[in-house]
Amino acid sequence: MSDPIIMLVLLLVLLGLLAAGVWVAIALLSVGMVALFFFSGAPVGQVLATTVWGQSHAWALAALPLFILMGEILLRSRMSEDMFKGLSPWLTRLPGRLLHVNIIGCAIFAAVSGSSAATAATIGKMSVPELTRRGYPERLVIGTLAGSATLGLLIPPSIILIVYGVATDQSIARLFIAGILPGLMLVALFGGYVILQSLLHPAAIPQETQHYTLGQKIRASRRLIPVLLLISAVIGSIYAGIASPTDAAALGVVFSILLAKLSGGFSMKMLLEAIMGATVTSAMIAFILAGAAFLTVAMGFTGIPRNLAAWIGSFNLSPLELLAALTVFFILLGCFLDGISVVVLTTSIIMPMIHSAGIDPLWFGIYLVIVVEMSQITPPVGFNLFVIQGLTGINILSIARSALPFFLLLLGAVGLIIAFPQIVTLLPSLM
């Protein structure tokens, strides 16, 4: 049986299991077993045991539950309220006014949570009711929140960058640093879109009746000091080489507990809820990674990835043509799978092609995350859409329509980093 036919059979098995509602991790393990049993002579049980054990105790994975716990703690704190009150006085004269609170607030929270869904929930629970009450257009309120919350996947500490780093043996610290400039670029693109819309439709943006003196703005900004210190402690320690991502994550957990306690309203019950939430999420991701690692090894035994890369190479696609095809592939895949599943499902097959095309795997990780960000705001499986629907009760297709301009901006960002790869590679090259 030829490699393309074997690949098609395994893909159909995987899609069948996922369509039947089987957990992603179980589906990955099952497809790996089928590949080993029918298409190679390797011992299934031995390969399964050694691969899952080797993957489960990787030291780089220790940062994952710690960053998730940090986000869970801050999700239950009063940080979103403090951020809104600290940012809003500075934005009343900017075109678009308080809509920028969604964008800047999401960027700030993304820098301490690493999760897109947590960013949407934390910022949305404060900004959506407040902006709606003040008369801001619902479409822009929802769109800025849905689009900007995707920054949680890119701006370090990013959970999905940890997953990519572990799956492809890339430096997590370098991936974190590589995500900073693209993240700031997206903030600028989103802010620019809001400014453009407010200039084209000035009547849609309500006038702010309250005006602030410079002293009042500075006093309000004191609410931002704790979270900025947290960002500096986590990201600064990594960039300065003082701490590894795992060490910085542990530091972040300690600071987030102190921050939540000092902000008030954070109890031992909330801490236990945060620990349980982080445990469940971390176990799910670790299980998926173990399944993906086993499938990667199984595919290696069959020789399919190597042969498939050679087959695609026979088409003589340029790197640009390959990236264009992969962008369409990832967008379609992201319509049905969450971002982490997309990464772990595809890396074993895609990376040989990336290496053979001469594409920098560090750059490709940031490219992949931006493309996966699009899947967070595309139905039917857009996690940000579900989170915002839970916050607002609005129909999910209406939320998706509101997020469409930001989907297109993300697509534009992909074009920008392809045209100017230095946006990604500049800061890591300085380390």
Tell me the C-alpha to C-alpha distance, in Å, between residue 99 and each of 20, 85, 95, 187: 41, 13, 9, 13
Residue 352 lies in a domain: yes
pTM for this predicted structure? 0.75
Encoding tokens for residue 124? 């949305």
Tens digit of each residue's pLDDT (9 = 90 or more) over 200-229: 988 878 877 677 777 888 888 887 788 788
Residue 39 lies in a domain: no
Residue 353 lies in a domain: yes
Q: Is the pLDDT of residue 415 over 80?
A: yes
Residue 32 lies in a domain: no
pLDDT at 3: 62
Residue 298 lies in a domain: no
Look at phi and psi of residue 159 and say left if phi exceeds 0, alpha if psi is from -120 to 50, else beta.
Answer: alpha
Q: Is the pLDDT of residue 422 over 90?
A: yes
Tell me the C-alpha to C-alpha distance, in Å, between residue 229 and each of 90, 111, 219, 224, 412: 20, 11, 17, 9, 32
Range of the domain at 158: 58-293+305-429
Overall domain count for the chain: 1
Residue 380 lies in a domain: yes
Residue 47 lies in a domain: no
pLDDT band at 80 (very low <50, low <70, confident <90, very high): low
Residue 46 lies in a domain: no
Tens digit of each residue's pLDDT (9 = 90 or more) over 84-139: 778 778 877 788 888 888 898 888 878 776 677 777 877 887 788 888 888 888 89
